[in-house]
Structure 1
Amino acid sequence: MVSVVFKLAAIKARDAAEEFFKLNNRDMAIRSLTVTKEFNPELPNINDYFTAYKVHEVAAKNRYEILSLSDTGVDSSMIKK
């Protein structure tokens, strides 16, 4: 059973992860999620957060490949369109 203090700490760590994610700091977001899971592994949807952040991390590194574009002559504005 998880104590109330750990449940609150887990929620704060999850919220911090969201803020890091919004700042495009995926490494810190994932670290915060790891802390969240240590405090309360039963927190609803915590594994979904990990999955979403990791997908974004891979997409940021391989956007050309994911969109089947060659990296020559394609800039960020074109990808956004």
Structure 2
Amino acid sequence: MADYPLRGSSQSKLTQNAAAAEKAKQAAEESFKLGNPTMAVEQAFAALDLNPKLPMLQNYITTYLVHSFASILTFCKKKKKDDTLVLYSILFIEDCYADIDEATIRKHYK
């Protein structure tokens, strides 16, 4: 099947989504600079929904998530709560109560 250029409303919709994605990405960056990584995550995921091919967006999302989790870790330490669940969440280890070996943790870290 040959690829044909998009015409009319399809092309217009793609252009609008690309512009909206770029605005959401910029809003995410501004939220992050203002110290609100949670809002940055939300806006970055909105940009990802609009344009999954936006350059570097997944790296930004990872950065925003790490900073969000870091603030949660700080809160846990202030309240003297166990931060193991938060650390496992950062590494996307689902079963936090099982005995996790070092190899599993290293695999998820990478």
TM-score, structure 2 length as denominator?
0.53
Matches within 5 A, 1:2-13: 3-13=14-24
Q: Tell me the amino acid that sits aligned with residue 22 of structure 1.
A: K
Does residue 51 (structure 1) correspond to residue 95 (structure 2)? The answer is no
In structure 1, what residue type is equivalent to 2:36? N
The gaps in structure 2 that reach 5 residues or longer are 1-5, 7-12, 79-110
Q: CA deviation at 1:60?
A: 2.5
Task: Extract structure 1 runs of 4+ deviating beyond 6 A.
Answer: none
Residue identity opposite 1:41 in structure 2: P
Q: CA separation in 2, counterparts of 1:53 and 1:25?
A: 9
Q: Which residue is equivalent to 1:19?
A: 30
Deviation at 1:59, TM superposition (A): 2.1
* Higher relative contact order (CA closer than 8 Å, sequence separation 6+): 1
Query: Unmatched 5+ residue regions in structure 1?
Result: 64-69, 72-81
Read off the aligned partner of 2:21 and give its amino acid letter.
A
Structure showing greater Rg? 2
Aligned-residue identity in percent: 37
TM-score where L is the length of structure 1: 0.69
Amino acid at match of 1:38: D
The number of residue pairs the alignment matches comes to: 67
